[in-house]
A and B are shown apart, each in its own frame.
Chain A
Amino acid sequence: MTVNRYTKMAYASADDMIFGNSPNPVKAGLDLEIGGGYTTPEINYAPRPEAGETKEKLIKEYERITRDSMERMVQVGFPSVVLETEHVQQMTNNPTWGGEVANAQKAIMEDYHDEYGIKCALRHTPGDIREDRDYLQLRGEKYNTLMESFEEVASNGADLLSIETMGGKEVFDRAILRNDVPGMLFAIGCLGTMDMEYIWQDITKIAKKNNVVSAGDTDCAQANTAMFIAGGLLDKNLAHTLAIIARAISAPRTLAAYEAGAVGPGKDCAYENTIVKSIAGVPIAQEGKTSTCAHSDVMGNLVMQCCDLWSNESIEYHGEFGGTTVQCWGESLAYDCALMNSALQTGQSKNLRDMMVLSDKYRDPQGYILAYDNAYKIGEAIVKDSDDIYLRAKNAAVECVNLLENADPKLQMTRFEKNALADASEALAGLTDDSDKFMSDSLEQYKEEVKVFRPENYGL
């Protein structure tokens, strides 16, 4: 397998980007098409802690979750749904468990499909178990277990394969707590991308062999960590301007999955997905106002702008007044999709998209940059140097800083945010354009500063 770099944008202009449509739609599962003209809810859930005690309990729990979800979708007349099972650790560590869960879920989904014709697909997301207590162990024994897990779920009914990989995280964890933008570039842009290329070629092989979809990844371990540390408007742990620089850098890293053979839909919590879609034209999942059950963000409507799947991130399975959690949150997602699909049918989609964008674009620097018009510009900066993983990540960071420095005055920033931005700008200006030099300097520096950093994880 080879890695094919994207050298140009998937769209002629940012305005062409819209929800429910992508230049390269993906057919999956039972008659579902993702990005082919309509949006679909993607329901996410976690078993109750007690259910993880034995394999049997776990399978029962997932059967309940699946049946409840499917039942509500047909009860309210929704035409399509995706279910995502993010593995609890036991399921990936014991690959056959994941396989049996997928098998049990798929059987139920097939029943509903046979009976009602509801279009549906099952995504499985094994946990990235590639670490032992002290170190990341990206390419050792655990890697083989992880691949077995993919093989098991793919051969037992999962239609879409995903993972949230964590390459680069050991360096990032240090860098993000020290406003270290070059460190973030090295961690996400270089190390993260290298690990992505490695693992996604193998996941794609497994997907091809089993005739299922190699879907995509998210920089949850890094860009979302930055977003959560940054927190709400009043939190004082990290400037939101830095969190969005980390996010911009994560786009070329998440793109690497598609360069290594994945085809989408990208993972829901990858807030960088609008940038990725602008380049790769793959369908994407997103989450926002309907994932407040899992976490808060500052752009809940805006991120819906270009989604193909609309997700709730995660919810523990239990009862609520309106049904079980998967039913309540799934129904909310599906109503959002019905609204988007109505806009598509009535020719109002761009207006709806722009209203969603405007409601959050000036709430925070993160929403401002991820608004599709600015996201597209970051995309252009990335493809400019697509062959050089360091330069394209640096371009993304620089473009992000430029956009914020010259932002529409409607975006107000605190002095603190502006100072952090100015510092980042200066750090970026001081960086070399020579990737080899950047790599070897960073390698030296972080081997020294990060005790748990092991270059062999990245084949270095």
Chain B
Amino acid sequence: MTSLDLDPSEILERYNVKMEKAMTPDDAAAELYPKDELIRPIAESIYEGEEDDTVEALQKAIDAGKDPIALIDDALMVGMGVVTKLYDEGIIFLPNVMMSADAMLDGIDFCKSQAKEAPVSKGKIVCHVAEGDVHDIGKSIVTALLRANAFDVVDLGRDVPVDEVIETVKKEKPIMVTGTALMTTTMYAFKAVNDRLLEAGLKVPFQCGGGAVNQDFVSTYELGVYGEEAADAPKMAEAILAGADLGKLKEQFHQH
């Protein structure tokens, strides 16, 4: 280096350092865990993203007489609730959420395998990446978060022809459909999906997101609801379960 030097605080601002919350993630989580001695370790293991611990803790609870299906809602979902809250508050980051989602899915599978009757699904959701588009990381995050919130996901993958989306919706009768597009060239497929759904009389909310997509574009077709971040997807699904119609969804999730 030449002898040039400077005090960076005169030329830039590390806003993230300045704004960081005082509380450590573990402390924040500790405040949120349920008190029940059998439930708490399950919730903790979800937060830690340790699937082996999740299964072990579930086994203990089941041995002690807890109902495996009830544990999905009462323990696993509670743990995931802690994770979602901390993510929303900016205390933990996405990879933690993904690891928790993995543990959550293993937990759900285990509970199902231990139960006599199948659990009632919260609702089915069809997810896809627009025709011609292979950018699927955002979609993978969306499906993981939906599954971790106990929704039943039909993942059509990437580069999905419009026909296939329509056929799947006809067959699966989902409560919502999600679409991801990262290219300005591929996002127009969403309009086609919208038109074909309407033609077929299927008025299902169609949540659209991904790098290229913005609220203005999504607002140009009737079924479209714009999603800025993957974490919005489960919130939208919950809103639908709570009775929100298209108008309500747009009101809640559209920002301007």
Contact = CB atoms under 8 A, between A and B. Distances in A.
Interface of A: 15, 49, 52, 88-89, 131, 133-134, 173, 176-179, 225, 229, 233-234, 236-239, 242, 316, 350-351, 354-355, 357-363, 373, 410, 412-416, 420
Contacts of A410: 7-8
A177 B94 contact: yes
Contacts of B141: 177
B19 interface: yes
- Chain B interface: which size bin? 35 or more
B171 interface: no
Contacts of A177: 94-95, 98, 137, 140-141
A233 B15 contact: yes
Given A49-B184, A133-B158, A355-B4, A414 B94 contact: no
A357 B6 CA distance: 11
Given A239-B93, A362-B8, A415-B24, A234 B1 contact: no
A361 B14 CA distance: 12
A133 B159 contact: yes
Contact of B99 (A49, A178, A362): A178
Interface string B13-51: 011110110001000000000000000000000000000
Interface string B147-171: 0000000000111000000000000
Contact of B1 (A15, A134, A178, A362): A15
A371 B95 CA distance: 27
B20 A236 contact: no
Binding site secondary structure of chain B: loop
Contact of B15 (A133, A229, A234, A351): A234
B90 A236 contact: yes
A361 B136 CA distance: 32
A362 B12 contact: yes
B94 A237 contact: yes
A93 B126 CA distance: 30
B138 to A, nearest CB: 9
Give the residue among A52, A177, A229, A414 with the most B Cβ atoms within 10 A.
A177
Contacts, number: 87
17 contacts: A49-B185, A173-B137, A177-B94, A178-B98, A233-B16, A234-B16, A236-B87, A236-B93, A238-B95, A316-B184, A350-B2, A351-B2, A357-B1, A410-B7, A410-B8, A412-B14, A420-B93
Contacts of B134: 131
A351 B4 CA distance: 8
Given A52-B185, A177-B140, A238 B98 contact: no
Contacts of B11: 359
A410 B157 CA distance: 45
A416 B93 contact: yes
Given A233-B16, A350-B2, 4 more contacts: A88-B185, A229-B94, A236-B87, A416-B20
A373 B1 CA distance: 7
A351 B3 CA distance: 9
B157 A358 contact: no
A354 B4 contact: yes
Interface in B185-224: 185, 188
Contacts of A49: 184-185, 188
B117 interface: no
B5 interface: yes
Nearest to A134: B157
Nearest to B88: A236
A234 B19 contact: yes
Interface in B118-135: 132, 134
A25 to B, nearest CB: 24
Given A229-B137, A350-B2, A363-B12, A414 B95 contact: no
Contacts of B14: 233, 363, 412
